[in-house]
Amino acid sequence: MEIIRDPLWNNIAVDELAMRLVDTPAFQRLRYVRQLGLAFLVYPGATHSRFEHALGTYHLSRRALALLEEHGSLARVANDECAILRAAALLHDIGHYPFSHALEEIGAPHHEEVARPLITGGDVGALLRESLGDDAPDRIVALIRGVGESPLRGLISGSIDLDKLDYLRRDAFMCGVSYGEIDVDRLINSLVIVDAPENGAPVVGIHEKGLSALESLLFAKYQMYRNVYWHHAVRSATAMYKRVVFDALDAGSLDAADLAGFTDEGILHALTERAPTPLLRAVRERKLYKRVFEVPAAELPRGAAEWIADDPRAARALENRLAEMLGLAAGELLIDYPAKTEMLGLDLPVLQRGGGVRRLTAHGWSGTINLPRLADELYQSSRWLRVFTARRVPADSAELRDLLLARPEK
């Protein structure tokens, strides 16, 4: 075992296969992809990378498996499932684009799809087949995508997957904020393998005693989205970067097929060489656009303005129209509505104190805190529809709101 020092979890023990995977070029690229994209322009400490996060998730997978083994929960799990799980934890973000999730918001394929050829081919695929069997890469991809029959699937993709436990704690720590406090030890110690109440198949669940720790996960996620991930200045920088890349792709200066191969600085350098614009220079010099309009999703009709997140091309057309209306040049007005995501998607078997198993879903659970309803309310209050401009200009808020909510006809 190799030992890697980590600022969050201290010593991370890395087995031989994991170390060989870490040394591949595909994994080493993650050193140069920031975990929080452009958030470092607001929180200077947020320069940590996907590399560190992947190691942290791998570390938590080892801890979770050790505790499940100690509790006797792995008796019905195939011998090789644990090795597959650890590899999936390590590789779950290998397909990430530069500056995190931003490019997925302009229509680039999801990073989990980008990960497939990186895991099934090249050095990574060869190592996995050599060490874990010919079907190992496909099984790992299935775990990352949250599909397949593995009883450990919920540790990689689920309501309490290990990815969340690392990134919320790590992001808060590196940003210097106290919002990401999660009772990780309690959550991991509450993990169990139970029979799914629908079909009896073994799946990852949580003991009822861990529900309060699950609440801590929900509140931590809400506070991090409200104060860090969707902070107005972070979203301004993200909107600017998205528009720069969108325009470069449209002009043929960048090839969409190459996006996942870039590092953060690599894509900025390529854009500077191939598609220099005032907007790109503003991103690099932190001349962030200012808010001229904003409204929380909680104050909008349910489902209104979703087209902005779903149809980036139509959103860009409206940006140009609004810019002209306000006397601005194309690219000097940007619309931002973060891509729709659940605050805490709940679908989790709970082992009750009497020994029964009950599924906690979006329909809630009478007699306990209504986590699904609370998650939705917190999500609606942290997600804001905004219009940013290169300089402050007078704008009619009511008129902007009407134009933003009226989806243009195709």
Cα–Cα distance for residue pair 303/293, rounded to 1 Å: 19
Q: How many CB atoms neighbour CB 405 within 10 A?
A: 15
Does 112 map to a domain?
A: yes
Residue 184 is predicted with a pLDDT of 93
Does 169 map to a domain?
A: yes
Whether residue 46 contacts residue 231, with contact meaning beta carbons closer than 8 Å, is answered with no
Does 60 map to a domain?
A: yes
CATH number of 128's domain? 1.10.3210.10
Whether residue 142 contacts residue 148, with contact meaning beta carbons closer than 8 Å, is answered with yes
Q: Structural domain of residue 104, as residue ranges?
A: 2-192
Residue 369 is predicted with a pLDDT of 56
Cα–Cα distance for residue pair 123/269, rounded to 1 Å: 27
Does 365 map to a domain?
A: no
Residue 70 is predicted with a pLDDT of 94
Residue 215 is predicted with a pLDDT of 84
Residue 197 is predicted with a pLDDT of 85
Does 29 map to a domain?
A: yes
Residue 362 is predicted with a pLDDT of 63
Residue 222 is predicted with a pLDDT of 87
Residue 271 is predicted with a pLDDT of 97
Nearest to 384 by CA among 317, 323, 321, 300: 300
Residue 309 is predicted with a pLDDT of 86
Does 239 map to a domain?
A: no
Number of domains in the chain: 1
**pLDDT per 10-residue tile (average), the chain, 410 residues:** 96 98 98 97 97 98 96 90 97 94 89 93 97 97 92 91 95 91 92 90 92 87 92 97 96 94 97 96 98 94 88 94 96 92 75 88 60 75 94 94 82
Residue 149 is predicted with a pLDDT of 87
Does 230 map to a domain?
A: no
Please identify which residue in the block is written with the tokens 């931590």. Answer: 220
Q: In what order do the strands lie in the sheet with 333-336?
A: 290-296, 384-389, 333-336
